[in-house]
Amino acid sequence: MSARLALALALGLSALANAASSGSALAATRDPTTGGAPAPPGPESSTGGTNPYVVGPPSVSSQPSGHPRPPHPGVTTTPGGAPGSPPRSGLADVPPAYLRVYRAAAKAYSLDWRILAAIGKNESNHGRSTAAGVHSGVNYARCCAGPMQICVVRSCGYVWQHYAADADRNGAASVYEATDAVFAAGALVADLTRLLGTSPALLLAGYNAGPGAVRRHHGVPPYPETRNYVSTGLAYIKLLPQDGSTTSRR
């Protein structure tokens, strides 16, 4: 997400809030104990058992975020690999713990898990980025945080505060915890589908630029950052296998 496009996102969130409160199937599936996201299936206690959807500390590399924002030294726009390298083969690039959470969140919200994976790749290289805001604080634009780079400030609508989820059930919702962040992103993408449809290109554009911008431009906005975000995300999706938890199509 971009601070430069914060106004577009803020305008779009009012429509998302209306959609989420309209008695939709999405609203009905949300679990109040998780702050909005449905509870992940399987063992649930952080103290009395193992939750297979809890993502531990990532294996952090020196590679910065894969988000194709305006010039960041070393930012990769090559799906699945370091700058200039051939794309890795599909699942080999997704850490197993993240793969489980992407698929669980996608199943909960009837999404294509690859869209969440593409967002996670673009935003933080699946939590491996050492860029500002991924593991603490906020990003260089001073608005977004966590592995899914969800906005946490007023200027772009307090997105995290609206979608915050204690999906790992450890007693607190944290934008920096991958399970919580991915389920919150899943809830956001599910609401975007209500506004924009199931096109992966439009969902990626809506996540980056805001649904208001996508609607005003009747498609992917002409912002270079957003065009790059979408093209990189779509290329990454093509590297990943589809599974049975999808409703979106390329």
Q: What per-residue confidence (pLDDT) applies to 28?
A: 28
Which tokens is 24 given?
Answer: 């939709």
Q: What per-residue confidence (pLDDT) applies to 92?
A: 94
List, as own/partner pairs, every contact residues 73-82 make where C-beta atoms lie below 8 angstroms and the sequence separation is at least 24, other chains included.
76/125, 77/228, 77/232, 79/121, 79/232, 79/235, 79/236, 79/239, 80/121, 80/236, 80/239
* 78 φ/ψ angles, rounded to the nearest 5 degrees: -95, 115
Q: Which of 13, 109, 97 is nearest to 53 (CA)?
A: 97
How many domains are there within the chain?
1
What is the rounded CA–CA span in Å between residue 72 and residue 80?
Answer: 18
Residue 117 lies in a domain: yes
Q: What per-residue confidence (pLDDT) applies to 88?
A: 57
Instruction: Kindly tell me the sign of the dihedral angle through the C-alpha atoms of 80, 3, 109, 97.
Output: positive
pLDDT in tens, 82-94: 433 445 568 999 9
Average pLDDT of the chain? Answer: 75
Q: Taking the CA of residue 100 as centre, how many other CA atoms within 13 Å lie in the half-sphere pointing to its CB? A: 16
Residue 240 lies in a domain: no
Residue 137 lies in a domain: yes
Rounded-to-5 percentages of helix, strand, coil across the chain: 45, 0, 50
Residue 105 lies in a domain: yes
Residue 238 lies in a domain: no
What is the rounded CA–CA span in Å between residue 56 and residue 176?
Answer: 11
Q: What is the DSSP letter of 151?
A: E
Whether the per-residue pLDDT at 81 is higher than 80: the answer is no
Whether the per-residue pLDDT at 29 is higher than 80: the answer is no
Residue 121 lies in a domain: yes
Q: What per-residue confidence (pLDDT) applies to 55?
A: 53
Residue range 108-123: mean pLDDT, rounded: 98
Q: What per-residue confidence (pLDDT) applies to 249?
A: 46
Q: What is the three-class DSSP state of 144? A: strand
Residue range 74-80: mean pLDDT, rounded: 37
Are 240 and 91 within 8 A, CB to CB? yes
Residue 108 lies in a domain: yes
Which tokens is 85 given?
Answer: 């390298």
Q: What percent of the chain has a predicted confidence (pLDDT) above 90?
A: 59
Residue 75 lies in a domain: no
Domain encompassing residue 98: 15-40+81-193
Residue range 116-144: mean pLDDT, rounded: 97
Q: Angle of helix 200-209 relative to helix 113-124, nearest 10 degrees?
A: 40
Are 193 and 111 within 8 A, CB to CB? yes
